[in-house]
């Protein structure tokens, strides 16, 4: 049994300038906090989320036993990121679909649902919005900022946008930018959504429909790339869904892996917002701190003052270990303090969300060392 | 300038029993031949094609300079597979959309277009159909059967279905079966097609529409998996399509790789048949000669009498070298004569269609050795 988590909301009336040149005002951020802020306001840990996650990082909602937070195995009382010691903050990003202002909400000027008119948000914009939330919570400097995948990009960006506000950055299964192949997979997912006749140029809400076909395809592609080839072979292999005989059909489910993908993608299309999918994959595509430094990551990371822990997983082909090593190298070039672990795990990109004794043990020691520092 | 190729068609009135239990009769096969059959009828080489190819293997059509065959760099007068020495046969498989009988043709009983009612065909069925064609051409035993990818699966299957009719089998960038990940990618592509509202359960012909949205998505997925991550980075990287400034759009093209994928997929959706895509990806999924031997590939390949050349490419993650090595091992377990080359090439799965001096040199020597044998 986990502890009870309580979602909160903060309203921000003032306009937040965005990287695109646009701005957004009168927005809400959904967030949760676990543990107690200490008297020095020094033990705060911000957790940044990836594509399909939210502010609900740990614990369960009262009366909903199956509502466990997405990183509940890592964060909580007595867990590697120990909420008996740290004040942990989870925040849902702008443009997401789990409580913070997003494309499904009304524009404050017109009262009409944003839809495709929701401004394009970037990792840097999210970090700015998170910083404003911390301001409201009275937190100046973070003991740590922590995230996996796209969340790791936010953690890295924090150290560049607010170097003086981050003591430690824990960047898990992440990358300094997406490869062409990553962008390509995102683009296929986006095309599947955008070309679904139920998308209506992003204004499907007013038509009372949802581009579920596109969302399903997007989710299937995501799922394949989150898992490793080995894990899929071990878990599904060439196992048939029913019996031992082939049905010889091009449209019916034949293999177990097909059944799994259809089930997962159906579930996803029931709750995820299509415009959010576009926005978040674009934020992934755009993130590239080296871009304004002529592609030189070492120069881009010179601003960072934090100490770093980077973690990658051997079978993660979406955010491969070599991408983490690029960040490590650039930080070392700048003589920053960096720890790096490459965990030999079979689970592909998903490994960052799963239990692995070496991984959780490492996180536990790292956060224990932060505790000692804070005393 | 290449030589002039001339497509031919052969009619088969008799029913061909299919693996599914169904059969197909009154069908046509489109084929081409290059070179001359020798007096002993011993120099025939059959070339089997993969997903998006046809009987038009080499040469150009009269008056159409841009109609080069898909393996023209490998096959022709003086080429590695030298049509001055070999009688080369290319055949379009049943269910394809380049001339042989397929889902877009009428059922002989009803006169109505097959559509989704075209029978499911397997690699084994294709090989049986090819064998009948060879019978008609008066060819008993092949000097070699040759194919890449799905074509390699057909070449391998030839040695099991007609061991006495194959002297050499050249299996390039292939596998003894698909992995769960391969099946998963095929399934996403199929779902994209089947859930396109213009698919009409496979009977779109009678509605005068084409499920282009689904075909585009299917092709994009294919394209990504045919290329290597490295090659995509080298060719496209994070290059923007226009200028140096981001446009901040979720739907417009921003990166060069997006532009490439959209262009390729548009082109594909103009000529490829949606039902054919389903049929051919299913044939890939189903191929698994070890299946009827309890998963034991060694036992499955015991029937093979041919000598083998297997070729794989280091960066091919769709049909990885280790899959070719499984075949090599199973053949060696059976004390068959096997040559194996793993070519260090950056082009991913597509490498089997491209020029690489080591690869073409190897093919040339192998086919020269066959020539010597025939003398």
- The answer to whether residue A2 sits within a structural domain is no
**Strand-pair partners of A113:** A106
Helix axes B212-226, B256-271, angle to 10 degrees: 120
List of chain A residues whose C-beta atoms are within 8 Å of the C-beta of residue B265: 191
Phi then psi dihedrals of residue A55, to 5 deg:
-70, -15
pLDDT digits 0-9 by tens, A282-318:
999 999 999 999 999 999 999 999 999 999 999 999 9
Question: Which residues of chain B neighbour A259 with C-beta distances below 8 Å?
Answer: none
CATH number at residue B345: 3.40.50.1820
Q: Which residue of B has its CA nearest to A287?
A: B238
Q: How confident is the model over B227-236, as pLDDT tens digits?
A: 888 899 999 9
Is the domain of B153 the same as that of B13?
yes
Orientation angle between helical segments A180-194 and A274-286, nearest 10 degrees: 160
Average pLDDT of chain A is 96
Respond yes or no on whether ipTM tops 0.90.
Answer: yes
Of B179, B195, B255, the CB nearest to A229: B179
Chain B partners of A180 at a C-beta cutoff of 8 Å?
229, 232-233, 235-238, 255, 257
Q: Which of A188, A260, A346 to mutate to test the interface with B (most CBs of B within 10 A)?
A: A188
Residue A268, helix vs strand vs coil: helix
Q: Tell me, yes or no, whether B186 and B66 share the same domain.
A: no
Question: Residue A206 sits in a domain of what CATH number?
Answer: 1.10.1740.110
Which of B183, B221, B275 lies at the smallest CB-CB distance from A255? B183
Residues B34 and B153 in one domain: yes
Q: What angle do CA B285, B93, A236 make, to 5 degrees?
A: 0
Residues of A in contact with B178 (CB under 8 A): 238
Could you report the per-residue pLDDT of B9-23, keeping only the tens digit for each?
Answer: 999 999 999 999 999
For residue B1, being part of any structural domain is answered with no
Q: Which residue of B has its CA nearest to A223?
A: B184
pLDDT digits (tens, 9 = 90+) for B193-218: 999 999 999 999 999 999 999 999 99
The shortest CB-CB distance from B188 to any of A181, A220, A249 is to A220
Is A72 annotated to bind ligand? no
Residues A258 and A295 in one domain: no
Question: How many domains does the structure of chain B reveal?
Answer: 2
Beta strands (DSSP E) in B95-199 are: 142-148, 166-172
Do B256 and B131 share a structural domain? no
Contact B261 A188 (CB under 8 A): yes
User: What number is the average pLDDT over the span B54-68?
Assistant: 96
User: Looking at residue A194, what is its pLDDT?
Assistant: 98
The answer to whether residues A193 and A298 belong to one domain is no
In the residue annotation, A293 being an active-site residue is answered as: no
pLDDT at A243 (0 to 100)? 81
Instruction: Tell me which residues of B are annotated as active site.
Output: 149, 316, 349
- Boundaries of domain holding A220: 182-281
Q: Is A219 labelled as part of a ligand binding site?
A: yes
Q: What is the nearest CA distance from A207 to chain B, expressed in angstroms? A: 17
Q: Where a domain ends, among B281, B301, B331?
A: B281
Are B54 and B171 found together in one domain?
yes
Considering the domain architecture, whether residues B186 and B172 belong to the same structural domain is answered as no
| Residue A203 belongs to some domain of the structure | yes
What mean pLDDT value characterizes chain B? 96
My answer on whether B86 and B163 are in the same domain is yes
Distance from CA of A227 to the nearest CA of B (A): 9
Would you state the pLDDT for residue B375?
Answer: 83
* Domain identity same for B264 and B297: no
Position B229 scores a pLDDT of 87
Q: List beta partners, residue A312.
A: A342
Model confidence at A46, pLDDT cuts 50, 70, 90, reads very high
> Tens of pLDDT along A170-185?
999 999 999 999 999 9
Which domain-ending residue is among A247, A281, A315? A281
Residue at a domain's end among B250, B281, B312? B281
Nearest CA distance, A341 vs chain B (angstrom): 23
CB-closest option in A181, A223, A232 to B232:
A181
Tokens 């599947």 correspond to what residue?
A192
The 3-state DSSP class for residue A264 equals helix
Quote the minimal CA–CA distance from B68 to chain A in Å.
29
A251 and B179 within 8 Å at the Cβ level: the answer is: no
Q: Does B22 lie in the same domain as B89?
A: yes
What does the angle CA B271 – CA B276 – CA B277 come to, to the nearest 5 degrees? 85
Residues A135 and A149 in one domain: yes
pLDDT (0 to 100) of residue A242:
85
Q: How far is B291 from chain A (nearest CA, A)?
A: 10
For B177, which of A190, A238, A265 is closest by C-beta distance?
A238
Global pTM exceeds 0.90:
yes
- B60: β partners: B4
- Tell me the percentage of chain B whose pLDDT exceeds 70: 100
Give me the pLDDT at residue B279, please.
98
pLDDT higher than 80, residue B1: no
Instruction: Check residue A328 and report its DSSP letter.
Output: H
The answer to whether residue A1 scores a pLDDT higher than 80 is no
CB-CB contact of A230 with B322 (8 Å): no
Chain A residues with CB-CB distance to B282 below 8 A: 249-250, 254
Phi, psi dihedrals of residue A247, rounded to the nearest 5° = -95, -15
């Amino acid at each position: 049994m986990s502890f009870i988590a309580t979602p909160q909301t903060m309203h921000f009336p003032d306009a937040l300038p965005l990287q695109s040149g646009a701005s957004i005002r009168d927005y809400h951020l959904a967030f949760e906090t676990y543990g107690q802020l200490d008297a020095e306001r020094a033990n705060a840990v911000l957790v940044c989320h990836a594509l399909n996650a939210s502010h609900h990082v740990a614990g369960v909602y009262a009366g909903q036993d199956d509502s466990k937070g997405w990183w509940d195995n890592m964060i909580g009382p007595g867990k590697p990121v120990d909420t008996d010691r740290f004040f942990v903050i989870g925040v849902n990003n702008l443009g997401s679909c789990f409580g913070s202002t997003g494309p499904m909400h009304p524009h404050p000027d017109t009262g009409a649902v944003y839809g495709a008119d929701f401004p394009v948000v970037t990792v840097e914009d999210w970090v700015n919005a998170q910083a404003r939330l911390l301001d409201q919570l009275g937190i100046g400097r973070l003991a740590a900022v922590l995230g996996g995948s796209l969340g790791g990009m936010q953690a890295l960006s924090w150290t560049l946008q607010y170097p003086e506000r981050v003591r430690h950055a824990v960047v898990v299964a992440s990358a300094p930018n997406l490869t062409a192949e990553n962008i390509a997979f995102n683009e296929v997912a986006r095309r599947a959504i955008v070309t679904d006749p139920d998308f209506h140029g992003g204004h499907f809400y007013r038509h009372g429909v949802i581009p579920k076909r596109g969302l399903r395809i997007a989710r299937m592609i995501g799922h394949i790339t989150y898992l490793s080839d080995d894990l899929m072979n071990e878990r599904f292999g060439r196992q048939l869904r029913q019996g031992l005989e082939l049905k010889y059909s091009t449209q019916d489910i034949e293999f177990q892996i097909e059944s799994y993908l259809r089930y997962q993608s159906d579930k996803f299309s029931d709750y995820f917002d299509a415009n959010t999918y576009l926005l978040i994959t674009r934020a992934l595509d755009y993130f590239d701190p080296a871009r304004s430094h002529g592609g030189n990551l070492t120069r881009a990371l010179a601003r960072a003052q934090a100490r770093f822990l980077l973690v990658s997983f051997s079978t993660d082909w979406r955010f491969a270990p070599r991408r983490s090593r690029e960040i490590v190298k650039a930080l070392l070039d700048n003589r920053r303090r960096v720890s790096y672990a490459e965990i030999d795990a079979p689970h592909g990109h998903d490994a960052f969300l799963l239990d692995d004794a070496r991984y959780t043990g490492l996180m536990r020691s790292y956060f224990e060392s932060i505790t000692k520092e804070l005393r």
